[in-house]
Amino acid sequence: MDYQKILDTIYDEISYRDVTGKVASYIPELAKVDRRKFGMHVYCGDEQHFSFGDSTELFSIQSISKVFTLAMAMRLMGEHLWDRVSVEPSGDPFNSLTQLEYESGIPRNPFINAGALVISDILVDQLDDPKQELLDFVRHITGDPSIDYDKTVAASEKSTGYRNIALVNYIKALGNIKCDVEPIVDFYFHQCSLAMSCEQLSKAFMIFANKGKILSTGEKILKPKTVKRINALMQTCGFYDEAGEFSFQVGLPGKSGVGGGIVAIHPDNYSVAVWSPILNEKGNSELGMKALERFTTLSGVSVF
Ligand code: GLN
């Protein structure tokens, strides 16, 4: 498969001019990002990777980080994790405050904010230095020690993060949060501020395409069963109330973030990351989804 040719075709065919959405502004720092940015990177093997555009530029990965923290929580808790968070699509926006009360504070899935905040609680509760351990995990799976938090973005989200703070308080009132609110949201705002490029993200996500093994070293970092569960959750819940549309258009398990990134994988085959900060109404990258639709259509390789 000539993936570079497919990427070149996509880069020729579509650009920011073809979409009408808006760059996220509820996190003030994200509003400053240039709407013309567009990059894509595909990893198939250690030496086989392909790209176009702004594929090495760092951006805020936001909710894509929820896949890393879920992997860490599954390593700590195994199947007991599902006592604290459910595995059903919510059909609601990522920041929804609903569907918690009648389930005793059990969020519908780990990728809506409510679920990710329960995962943050678990990591803050069980790890000595959760921020450092998350950095170590991401640096380890990419083999790239330069990856770091963007403290300005974390502080920016903290300054307007009342909804997430409300969510933690609400879930705590319902009995499904153990730690204090402050360290949980501090960890969560930091995980969302991780700054990575399409190249780094697609490399990191090869563990989910590769049955839990790190691409360059072959080290087994997650059990195949854990990877199966995470990929199933990306397929059904990775795009919130647009998970059906993403499956329909693209046909891959994946995860988006309001920084405009999307990463998707094809088991045993490839990992692909795309970035364009222009979001549709569901908070997913509008151009990114178009690019991935072209990618699986032109290559003929989706999970369906
Ligand atoms: N940090 C963002 C928030 O909590 C992440 C949301 C997202 O990327 N969908 O609102």
pLDDT band at 299 (very low <50, low <70, confident <90, very high): very high
112 class by beta-carbon count within 10 Å (0-12 exposed, 13-18 middle, 19+ buried): buried
Extract the tokens encoding 262.
């999307």
Residue 257 Cβ inside 6 Å of ligand 1? The answer reads: yes
Phi, psi for 130 (deg, rounded to 5): -60, -35
What is the longest distance spanned by two Cα atoms in the chain? 54
How many helical (H) and strand (E) elements, i.e. helices and strands, does the chain have? 12, 10
Give 65 Cα–ligand 1 centroid separation in angstroms: 10
**Domains with residue ranges and CATH for the chain:** 3-299 (3.40.710.10)
Q: Assess whether pLDDT exceeds 80 at residue 102.
A: no
- 2-20 per-position pLDDT tens digit: 999 999 999 999 999 999 9
Q: What pLDDT, in 10s, does the model give residues 29-45? A: 999 999 999 999 999 99
The pLDDT of residue 101: 73
CA-nearest residue, atom 10 of ligand 1: 95
Ligand 1 pocket: which of 113, 190, 242 to mutate (most atoms within 8 A of CB): 113
Query: 94: Cβ below 6 Å to ligand 1?
Result: yes
Question: Which two structure tokens, joined as six digits, stand for 251?
Answer: 């046909």
The CA 15 to ligand 1 mean position distance, Å, reads: 24
CB of 240 closer than 8 Å to CB of 111: yes
The reply to whether ligand 1 has any atom less than 6 angstroms from the CB of 258 is: yes
pLDDT digits (tens, 9 = 90+) for 243-269: 999 999 999 999 999 999 999 999 999
Provide the pLDDT for residue 14: 98
